[in-house]
């Protein structure tokens, strides 16, 4: 891409929480022009009517000419992006899928966790998992990018460095807590104010679909069998994920060696930050940063990771992957600091 040109971007599913975050980031990106917004329920109306405070006044439409854009962010319900991805790719568009349609390379695993046959199994192996810190080089030539889930983003950043280095046993326990925006914008009883306010609850204890995504990626990164216990919790806040991960050092491995690996890993990544204390979610609010800490407790290493679930856990991660794919500065259009308090 010539330096004087800007990428033409479209966002499909623009009025959901992830979609509107994509629009906000792309509209402020110096190398991008948002030219198409798609969303059936708001088709024919201006985006700013659907999203209070937005200055983006484009009309929302319900169709896309692939020749009109360079990249599509698909913030759509599961199976919907997969139904359109082949057409978009054939039209020369890079697709950044924000749903789960291409996070699992095995179509059989997709059916197991999502309860339906995969709409485009021929594309599953073609997709590049878009956690930039783990797949930067592969993303440079990708035409289909699968943005990771929010819980998997935090969990993988908390576990992969030690697993890759062979410093810990392949037994992982992830306790993770998410704000209510992770459930999406559609109203439901489970996220009703009176149901979640002043309350914290675990859910998906018998098996959460993000657990399948986490486990599959851990096995790939470790190149070995890994066991996983994953328990997500819903907490009464709007944004944020805090993952607390428990790792068992291998015999003879000291805590300093493990924390040193995480420090080096974070130092080499523009969207990671190593904190000397376990990070609060507010310290990354609105930013594309994942804050990481390692603290020993007895013979266990406790790794905590805090992210904004709609930014580093979703839209920001997609923009970061797009930047890598189109050889733009990796943090372009992304905040790497958060206001406090």
Q: Return d(Cα 29, Cα 178) in angstroms, integer.
A: 27
- Catalytic one among 22, 150, 271, 294? 150
Of 181, 135, 194, 210, whose CA–CA distance to 281 is shortest?
181
Could you tell me how far CA 247 lies from the centroid of its own chain?
Answer: 22
Q: Establish whether 22 is a catalytic residue.
A: no
Q: Are 276 and 299 in contact (CB under 8 A)?
A: no
Half-sphere exposure of 108 (CA within 13 A, CB side): 0
Q: CA angle, corner 53, sides to 48 and 54, nearest 5?
A: 45
Q: Of all helices (H) and strands (E), which one includes residue 91?
A: none
Q: Is the dihedral of CA 312, 130, 190, 25 positive or negative?
A: positive
Q: Return d(Cα 307, Cα 320) in angstroms, integer.
A: 14
Q: Are 14 and 35 in contact (CB under 8 A)?
A: no
- Say if residue 311 is exposed, middle or buried (CB neighbours under 10 Å; 0-12, 13-18, 19+): buried
Q: Return d(Cα 193, Cα 210) in angstroms, integer.
A: 24
Residue with tokens 């360079």: 70
* Start-to-end CA span in the chain (Å): 39
SS3 for 71? Answer: strand
Half-sphere exposure of 169 (CA within 13 A, CB side): 15
Q: Which residues are annotated as catalytic? A: 150
């Amino acid at each position: 891409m010539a330096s004087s040109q800007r990428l033409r971007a479209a966002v499909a599913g623009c009025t959901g929480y992830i979609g509107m975050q994509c629009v906000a980031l792309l509209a402020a990106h110096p190398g991008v022009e948002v030219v198409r917004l798609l969303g059936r329920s708001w088709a024919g109306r201006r985006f700013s009517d659907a999203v209070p405070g937005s200055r983006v006044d484009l009309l929302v439409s319900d169709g896309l000419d692939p020749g009109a854009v360079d990249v599509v962010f698909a913030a759509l319900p599961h199976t919907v992006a997969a139904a359109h991805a082949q057409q978009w790719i054939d039209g020369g568009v890079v697709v950044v899928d924000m749903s789960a349609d291409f996070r699992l390379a095995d179509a059989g695993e997709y059916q197991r966790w999502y309860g339906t046959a995969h709409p485009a199994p021929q594309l599953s192996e073609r997709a590049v998992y878009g956690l930039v810190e783990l797949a930067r080089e592969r993303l440079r030539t990708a035409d289909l990018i699968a943005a990771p889930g929010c819980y998997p983003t935090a969990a993988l950043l908390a576990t992969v460095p030690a697993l890759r280095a062979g410093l810990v046993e392949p037994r992982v326990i992830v306790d993770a807590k998410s704000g209510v925006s992770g459930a999406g914008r559609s109203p439901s009883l489970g996220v009703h104010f009176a149901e979640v306010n002043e309350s914290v609850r675990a859910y998906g204890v018998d098996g959460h679909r993000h657990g399948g995504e986490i486990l599959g990626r851990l096995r790939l990164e470790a190149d070995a069998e890994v066991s996983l216990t994953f328990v997500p919790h819903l907490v009464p806040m709007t944004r944020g994920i805090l993952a607390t991960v428990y790792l068992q050092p291998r015999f003879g491995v000291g805590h300093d060696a493990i924390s040193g690996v995480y420090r080096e890993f974070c130092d080499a990544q523009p969207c990671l930050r190593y904190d000397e204390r376990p990070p609060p979610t507010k310290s990354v609010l609105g930013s594309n940063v994942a804050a990481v800490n390692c603290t020993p407790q007895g013979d266990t290493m406790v790794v905590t990771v805090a992210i904004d679930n709609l930014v580093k856990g979703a839209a920001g991660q997609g923009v970061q992957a797009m930047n890598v794919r189109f050889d733009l500065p990796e943090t372009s259009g992304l905040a790497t600091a958060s206001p406090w308090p």
